Amino acid sequence: MDFLASSFVAALRLIGSFSPDVVDAVGTSLAVSAGATVFAALFGIPLGLLVGLSDFPLKRFVITVLNTLMAVPTVVVGLLVYGFLSRQGPLGALGLLFTPTAIVIGGVLLAAPITANYSLASVRGADSRIVPTALTLGAGRFLAVGTLIGEIRFGILAAVIAGFGRVVSEVGVAMMLGGNIRGYTRTMTTAIALETSKGEFAFGMALGIVLMTVALLVNLFLSLLQRK
């Protein structure tokens, strides 16, 4: 208990003193997570809306695939992207491996199925008469869909928040694609894994406290949206 207590106090000191290593890892995590979430939302939300509003023969299969992609382990995503970005891979000439961009790409693949599924669920949970009524009243297809989006805006925002929560807390993709380079690609999760293995438990705990705080705030906000 003394070890945990002293480590906790040391962790709070690192946070309170704005330790450069802590600040760097937190900044990198938030930056790559935000970037991945934005791109995932730009792809996933329209996909979820399209699947939810359309009727086509393979719709049930597409929904099953989206649900399956939500459960794909992060190391599998990391392995796939690594194969594309490595020197022997088809995109190796771009030199993206072990860069923040590589982490963002992996994060997009993790978050996009979540944003798509949340958006799809929001469409399926909305009043099915919204779009037909808007069309009957003379609105164009685009405006009718815009009306629907306005009605499910909290669900759409929840999709974005859930995607961010998925990316900011993962370690497999960041480790495999970023390489955990200090001052460049080291995120909170990879730093926790590395520093704890080196015996720097207080440093790992400091980042763990920050990460848990971020996750708590994200989930509290998501809970408030779901209540609405």
Stated pTM of the model: 0.90
Q: How far apart are CA 167 and CA 189, in angstroms?
A: 10
Q: How far apart are CA 46 and CA 43, in angstroms?
A: 6
Does residue 226 surpass a pLDDT of 70? no
Lowest mean pLDDT among 91-95, 133-137, 196-200: 133-137
Mean pLDDT of 199-219: 89
Does residue 228 surpass a pLDDT of 70? no
Mean pLDDT of 62-88: 91
- Mean residue pLDDT of the chain comes to 88
Instruction: Give me the pLDDT at residue 36, please.
Output: 96
Q: How far apart are CA 64 and CA 215, in angstroms?
A: 28
**Total residues found in the chain within this entry:** 228
Each residue of 24-45: pLDDT tens digit? Answer: 999 999 999 999 999 999 999 9
Cα angle 171, 29, 118; round to 5: 75
Instruction: Give me the pLDDT at residue 5, please.
Output: 84
Does residue 128 surpass a pLDDT of 80? no
Return all residues near 70 (Cβ < 8 A) that are at least 6 apart.
Answer: 113, 114, 117
Return all residues near 221 (Cβ < 8 A) that are at least 6 apart.
Answer: 161
Please count the CA atoms within 13 angstroms of the CA of 156 that sit on its side-chain side.
Answer: 20
